[in-house]
Structure 1
């Protein structure tokens, strides 16, 4: 990433090689089993500020390239329980270390490794309905082998995160509501609704909310993304015709601060947990600043069975200190997954991003203004390249 939004140009570069072994047991008496996965990450290269790429372990203070390290860890160490009838009422649960991706209010995105959480997850299902439950009290971040307690922006320890969700899913309708509670710190609300009236058209609505509690309110105002409740709303429409797809989205954020600074929706209010947030325009704090309207368009095309390309455009604007501040980005996405049987589990993924931003200060959010009171435009460019190969040992 080549970034000059903070003034001087910052180059963020990280290269890593990952090897993972993943074992999933069968079920003893069709009830009990266990999963184990082992990950080793090797450093190939890193610049200063490499830690922002979430690939390598930052083993030391600051952002020096000399801190960049590889690491090893067991991402999964959990027992699993299955009860009931798959065609009727059933219950599936896990306890131990486990990645948790897009489940209730948490996620474990994959870079060189995944976030892994220590605790319990369980789902009770009956036909089209399901109820999800979660309780976790520790984390190993995706770029670290260390077990940690959850911590706020001012490094106050958070005892646990508990969450629950209710889901309904049919061919035409997919709806869910999830509630998360970080003890004494914040409530998180996630509402997702997708309706497909025709086989090639889908309408969607999403809402994500943060409700601050005592520990959050006690943090210094500079560390608070918003002083009160904050929400992100998005509506989408998707059209798919054979290999060609088009998706449009419009979003709005309500996240005010009362001290004259710019508020924004805090995607990850606990610093070492990854929180579920799925708007099309989701990119760091961008497009989720107070009063910001975000417009997003995605066109994708599958040229052949093994090649996919997409172009995504994001545009956002909001009013702040007599300025109408505008930002945007262009993303070029490609994925190649060979159809050759010998390479069927090999994937090459690339994403090139060009962004138009503004100069920032104060946790890379607050705009900087020139002597005439106008915001200062800046640019950024980023490139992601991933080579991924999965194979079965037995």
Structure 2
């Protein structure tokens, strides 16, 4: 038998420690056996590895950590890093601190933060799990609507509602000549990720809704998928395709038709309704460009990577004109052009609009194209589009 020699000094160190450990463990076990709560509890004897130690909610924390809501390096949260602080109006959705201040969840008076918020924040756990969310009963939209919500919807509805509404566009163009460029007009941006706004449809009034037209209201879908978290994992933000399979033959939303009508004039009912929306959006963009050149008199160029997105392209080469090294914002807006461009951008700002409210999107596209068709002398009925 091989002997293992332990130095006397080491043995004198180990034995008291082992004795203390055993004494404490037995003491803790005795306390638990007597129904007492131990002061602290040592882990059970090993061997064990770190991955075997359970961390409460670890699965959800890991999913959130991989999601866009936690990505502090993304433009959504790093845009203001050089400035060192986030403006109050932007902080509501781009910082957990700003969100809690806006709703008074930090003990402050509800409303926009009084001061800029430090950078570095994200959509953190408290943004969606703060107990105070249960006290929020309604969310105000830019259209003026106060929409009732529950605690599970409050966060989503606050930050995905858009920053503009059709009423804002109407106020800007009211009283102006339909087809006369007005240098006082500038593009009104609906902002980004507008799912909550599109979900509410005509009821929410976030798109520009033409007078005399009826619009689809909130897209209620089926009862099991009536809320944001019904389809989106609230931590990873991934779409639960298996939920779609409850009623549809395909789990991929872009392949789901959800209508027996063709809205883009193709007559193809085998493709998903997303394709109809994309086709009509492309057609509307073509009409916007044609109108800008022929009616407004100044060609227009769209660049989705820089604000205000629509720029002057006087020579029509497909590139924005530059002044002092910077692209020139489009400045020949007419009321008719601004309304249609707002709707086009509003629809494109929700990548999932084909799920959230496809018919509202198609109605806005149709009406915008119909409005532009007259000054362009287009036989709109001949396009065989359906509203």
TM-score interval, normalised by the smaller of the two chains: under 0.3
Higher share of residues assigned helix: 2
Decide which structure has greater strand share. Answer: 1
The two structures have a TM-score, normalised by structure 2, of 0.25
Q: Which has the higher contact order (CA 8 A, sep 6+)?
A: 2
TM-score, length-normalised on structure 1? 0.25
Query: Which structure's CA Rg is the greater one?
Result: 2
